Structure 1
Amino acid sequence: MGSFSHMVGDRTYQFRDLKDLMAKATPARSGDYLAGLGAASAEERVAAQMTLAALPLTTFVNESVIPYEQDEVTRLIVDMHDAAAFAPVAHLTVGDFRNWLLSDAVDAAALAALAPGIMPEMAAAVSKIMRIQDLVLVARKCSVTTRFRNTIGLPGRLSTRLQPNHPTDDASGIAASLLDGLLYGSGDAVIGINPATDNVPQVIRIVSMLDEIIARYDIPTQSCVLTHVTNTIAAIERGAPVDLVFQSIAGTEAANAGFGVTLSLLEEARQAALSLKRGTVGDNVMYFETGQGSALSANAHHGVDQQTCEARAYAVARRFQPLLVNSVVGFIGPEYLYDGKQIMRAGLEDHFCAKLLGLPMGCDVCYTNHAEADQDDMDVLLTMLGAAGCTFVMGVPGADDIMLNYQTTSFHDALYARRALGLRPAPEFEAWLRTMGIFDGDAPSGRLPTAFSNALLRLAAHE
């Protein structure tokens, strides 16, 4: 790899290789400083950004930030690159690419056609020279639609993951949170539970309970227990009614090894879920979560900045045609994203890069209690993501996950975003809400369907 330089006044800044240039061009964040990769000054960052803007996009075709021979994610990125799809922008620099993306001539169809030709490092590079409004405007033009029991990602729609976690996996507690969320119109993306006890029998118990509820009331949604992929495969082998397969993923082979996964294992899981044929309107069966800092926290980043590593995770996700992907943006902690400003920037970068790569991207708008952030920051990020066409967000009682102990978005927050921005749930789910009397028109009716709620609680408690 060649080195790069840029002169500012009478000072010349040197960047030893492509990954050093990418890291120095990244807007400031604590994780890159923790790794010793960030720019030493604002002037150096601007010099790197100007150098990056002048870089031909074809550089990323010819050079890899992690060697092809050392990393199966790099091999995936290179081997899946669609040169024909890339051709319309192959002559551009990174800066020209930004201008092309923002131009009125580029619409959803053009961006969809381009997606297979975009390498994640290209998306990461252009995001580094974009303002917040640029990230919002381009992401808003991207249209990515997926299907299982309903249709996710249509224009004018914002879906939610109903997250009824409980610190002891108590069925009645889960059911109470589930009912609360349904009454606010949450749950069209997925009813997804992080189990407190992570073993195969517990996975089967929870997924069977959710399946019974969904089937009994003909709810057009899907369930998922967010356990390790090997547990889900084992549950499928034992006959469990699994809808979606979940897995946390990262942007390097070594980081994925830390999660206990390989590309071949993810494909095995996808095939197992497809064999059940449980989807009614589509067969997107995978659900992935990511987050800036995961590769660094595993010491598996190969000297690559955390945002570029994150974008590489989206190439992994894209390979398996997921129903849902989301960045759990502030969950890893302030060591990686220090405060509200860094979390907001990262969430919008992640959403932009994933949408550009053709993914159905959502965001867990969240922070840990020791971060320099609060719910006002989350309100701003939620609103910006809604404006950007975010596929889905989380719905948690009171925005406080009592099992995972972090702060996220509530059922009411999702309702706010829909009302403020004129957004609606997935169409099949919206029709169900009206049929059940939960919604009048586009808003909650304020009435509690007593027979439904009582039966749901009894069913969950196995009375």
Structure 2
Amino acid sequence: MKRHQYTHTAGCRTYGFHDLKDLMAKATPARSGDLLAGVAAHSAEERAVAQMALAEVPLATFLKEALIPYERDEITRLIIDTHDAPAFAPVSHLTVGDFRNWLLGDAVDSEALAALAPGITPEMAAAVAKLMRNQDLILVAKKCRVVTRFRNTLGLAGRLATRLQPNHPTDDASGIAASLLDGLLYGSGDAVIGINPATDNVPQVIRLVTMLNDIISQYAIPTQSCVLTHVTNTIEAINRGAPVDLVFQSIGGTEATNRSFGVSLDLLGEARSAALSLNRGTLGDNVMYFETGQGSALSANANFGIDQQTCEARAYAVARQFKPLLVNTVVGFIGPEYLFDGKQIIRAGLEDHFCAKLLGLPMGCDVCYTNHAEADQNDMDVLLTLLSVAGCNFVMGIPGSDDIMLNYQTTSFHDALYARRVLGLRPAPEFEAWLQKMDIFSKDAQFRLNPSLPPAFHKALLRLP
């Protein structure tokens, strides 16, 4: 695929960009990871000029000029080989700038964006995001609607789901069960009940999966479970007869990044087939759960000079291939080396959600930060609110916002309730009906929390394993 230089004149000065990769990196809003990688614009003026030059690039250019050569990267091959030309046709004549205007137009609705998704490459999505203000990212993402199903229905308009994350630093069953019960009593857990295991081996995975399956079965909860272990552990657990609902894996946007995670497209395909063979979904067969995050490619020394937001968008091509139930960006988890402060984390979260939704993914967000970042819970309140307005599929629910196993700050059960209350959002419909049946939520139109412990859970406090 051919490459050529890009130039743009501002006043009496002409700026040059080595190739499309360089142009996109220079057009990216400032963030510490791109500075660390040495690909960021040297000044605000250069960034603005790069954005003007990028706006003039035809969308079709991204099908001709690969950022990583086709023969060197299986993600590039996936993007090119699966591109849907008929879906792309309505916008094939547009430049990146024109595409931005088209997306923001009132004539473009959810149906048009759903039809377009297979025709958009990650690089196109990343490019147009670089030209958008935060409100643009919110407005367009709000119009995207991606619905998935396993034991309930996620992604419907007017709904906000949560991942109940009952992690424990020693995988203590009583501690996990206590956090799980706490989350359920606050209406959390419709996206998934997902545990990050402290001890990551196959016997422990089987023990945790079985525990979650027993709880879900005992209380007939219309949700799904997941132990966030390496995909090879999950495959082995399935082979040993474990009641696995969802297969989890962290993924990146380059073949080399995924190799550092110990995965490939073939391995992910094998895992999906294994999960499908169990036929555990009652409403649908979306069995995969992926997590991503800006900076993962750079941290693996596998970014090939590409800016971190574009690398992140390329990870969504991997996720899209396997029809997941859930995808989320763990947006501030990697640290301030990649997203320095609250402003950068907020911007990255909105970019990731927008790009994934534009590509047709059921995107959520772990609204989070590490303790050494220049951010606090007020920043997370802002991002949670903005993402909820933008139609984010799900967020995290953790006791007190503090993950005591992974040692980072995220969103609590109360935070999810806040977002639902202030914006009039509700849980997944099947889960909402269960919450009312169990007297956790009131049966009136207000969907208020029951102030007392529902009778069905009285004995649960005495039976914690």
Aligned 1:40-439 pairs, distance under 5 A: 40-439=42-441
Structure 2 unaligned regions, length at least 5 = none
- Equivalent pairs: percent with the same residue? 79
Structure 1 residues 155 and 112 mapped into 2: Cα distance closer, same or farther (>3 Å)? same
For 2:327, give the aligned amino acid: V
Deviation at 1:12, TM superposition (A): 1.0
Separation in structure 1 between the aligned mates of residue 459 and residue 336 of structure 2, nearest angstrom: 42
Which residue is 2:31 aligned to? 29
Separation in structure 2 between the aligned mates of residue 383 and residue 200 of structure 1, nearest angstrom: 38
Contact kept? 1:213, 1:456, Cα under 8 Å: no
Separation in structure 1 between the aligned mates of residue 40 and residue 392 of structure 2, nearest angstrom: 28
Q: 2:17 aligns with which of 11, 15, 25?
A: 15
Separation in structure 2 between the aligned mates of residue 457 and residue 391 of structure 1, nearest angstrom: 34
Separation in structure 1 between the aligned mates of residue 433 and residue 451 of structure 2, nearest angstrom: 17
Separation in structure 2 between the aligned mates of residue 88 and residue 9 of structure 1, nearest angstrom: 35
Separation in structure 2 between the aligned mates of residue 285 and residue 427 of structure 1, nearest angstrom: 19
Separation in structure 2 between the aligned mates of residue 13 and residue 34 of structure 1, nearest angstrom: 22
Separation in structure 1 between the aligned mates of residue 458 and residue 78 of structure 2, nearest angstrom: 47
- Structure 2 SS opposite 1:195: coil
Residue deviations 1:35-79 (CA, integer Å, cap 9, x gap):
000000000000000000011000001111000000000000000
Which residue is 1:444 aligned to? 449
Separation in structure 2 between the aligned mates of residue 32 and residue 453 of structure 1, nearest angstrom: 52
Separation in structure 2 between the aligned mates of residue 194 and residue 451 of structure 1, nearest angstrom: 27
Residue deviations 1:137-191 (CA, integer Å, cap 9, x gap):
0000001000000000000000000000000000010011001100110000000
Q: How many residues align?
A: 460
Structure 1 unaligned regions, length at least 5 = none
**TM score, norm. by length of structure 1:** 0.99
**TM score, norm. by length of structure 2:** 0.98
- Structure 2 SS opposite 1:246: strand
RMSD, aligned CA: 0.7
Separation in structure 2 between the aligned mates of residue 343 and residue 335 of structure 1, nearest angstrom: 12
Deviation at 1:363, TM superposition (A): 0.2
Contact kept? 1:179, 1:453, Cα under 8 Å: no
Separation in structure 2 between the aligned mates of residue 265 and residue 42 of structure 1, nearest angstrom: 43
Deviation at 1:430, TM superposition (A): 0.1
Contact kept? 2:5, 2:20, Cα under 8 Å: yes
Deviation at 1:8, TM superposition (A): 1.1
Separation in structure 2 between the aligned mates of residue 226 and residue 151 of structure 1, nearest angstrom: 21
Contact kept? 1:175, 1:457, Cα under 8 Å: no
Structure 1 residues 456 and 260 mapped into 2: Cα distance closer, same or farther (>3 Å)? farther
Deviation at 1:361, TM superposition (A): 0.1
Q: Which moved more, 1:8-17 or 1:191-200?
A: 8-17
Which residue is 1:2 aligned to? 4
Structure 1 residues 49 and 237 mapped into 2: Cα distance closer, same or farther (>3 Å)? same
Deviation at 1:457, TM superposition (A): 5.7
For 2:144, give the aligned amino acid: C
Contact kept? 1:326, 1:362, Cα under 8 Å: yes
Deviation at 1:444, TM superposition (A): 1.1
For 1:279, give the aligned amino acid: G
Deviation at 1:443, TM superposition (A): 2.2
